[in-house]
């Protein structure tokens, strides 16, 4: 039987921000270089991990996977009424990177297992809330 995950996470989609590197200027650690993940990225990854951790599904190492993700964004009031899709930042590939990284190592051992991906960025319809819909299955 093929393992699958199909779920929705009710958080606003967030793009994976690049790690930040700073040089400390004061105190006993002056001159030390540190690298950190921006707070918004870390918080979104933690929320996705928490939600997916409740699913108790783990794909075996080396199994090829097919991923489909739809990112539902709130339509800004400034968006033209005839615009069907959010052709704005954040980029869909950066949003997907956050989701794929959040699934390691609890859902799969490496995001290199994803051999097929379908990514969508959409506006919420009236009455809907922002969310991330994830469908992950073994590639057969």
**Closest listed residue to residue 137, CA positions, set 72, 71, 69:** 69
**pLDDT tens track for 24-37:** 888 888 889 999 88
All structural domains of the chain, each given as residue ranges with its CATH number in brackets, are 4-138 (3.30.1330.70)
pTM of the model: 0.88
Q: Please name the residue that has the structure tokens 């991990």.
A: 49
Estimate to the nearest angstrom the gap between the alpha carbon of 19 and the chain centroid: 15
Residue 11 has pLDDT above 90, yes or no: yes
Residue 2 has pLDDT above 90, yes or no: no
pLDDT grade for 96, boundaries at 50, 70 and 90: very high
pLDDT value at residue 82:
85
In the chain, % of residues over pLDDT 70: 100
**pLDDT tens track for 39-82:** 999 999 999 999 998 888 899 999 999 999 999 999 988 888 88
Q: At what angle do helices 92-103 and 39-53 cross, to 10 degrees?
A: 50
Residues 81 and 74: their CA atoms lie apart, in Å, by 13
Residues 123 and 87: their CA atoms lie apart, in Å, by 10
Residue 1 has pLDDT above 80, yes or no: no
**pLDDT tens track for 107-139:** 999 999 999 999 999 999 889 999 999 999 999
Query: Are residues 136 and 5 in contact, defined by beta-carbon separation less than 8 angstroms?
Result: yes
Query: Are residues 107 and 7 in contact, defined by beta-carbon separation less than 8 angstroms?
Result: no
């Amino acid at each position: 039987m093929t393992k699958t995950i199909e779920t929705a996470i009710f958080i606003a989609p967030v793009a994976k921000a690049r790690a930040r590197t700073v040089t400390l200027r004061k105190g006993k650690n002056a001159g030390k270089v540190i690298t950190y993940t921006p707070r918004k990225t870390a918080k979104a990854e933690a929320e996705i991990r928490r939600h997916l951790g409740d699913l108790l599904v783990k794909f075996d190492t080396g199994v090829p996977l097919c991923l489909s993700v739809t990112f539902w964004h709130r339509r800004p009031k400034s968006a033209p009424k005839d615009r069907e899709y959010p052709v704005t930042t954040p980029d869909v590939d950066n949003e997907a990177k956050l989701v794929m990284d959040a699934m390691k190592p609890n859902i799969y051992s490496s995001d290199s297992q994803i051999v097929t991906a379908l990514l969508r960025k959409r506006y919420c319809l009236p009455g809907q809330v922002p969310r991330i819909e994830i469908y992950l299955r073994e590639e057969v």
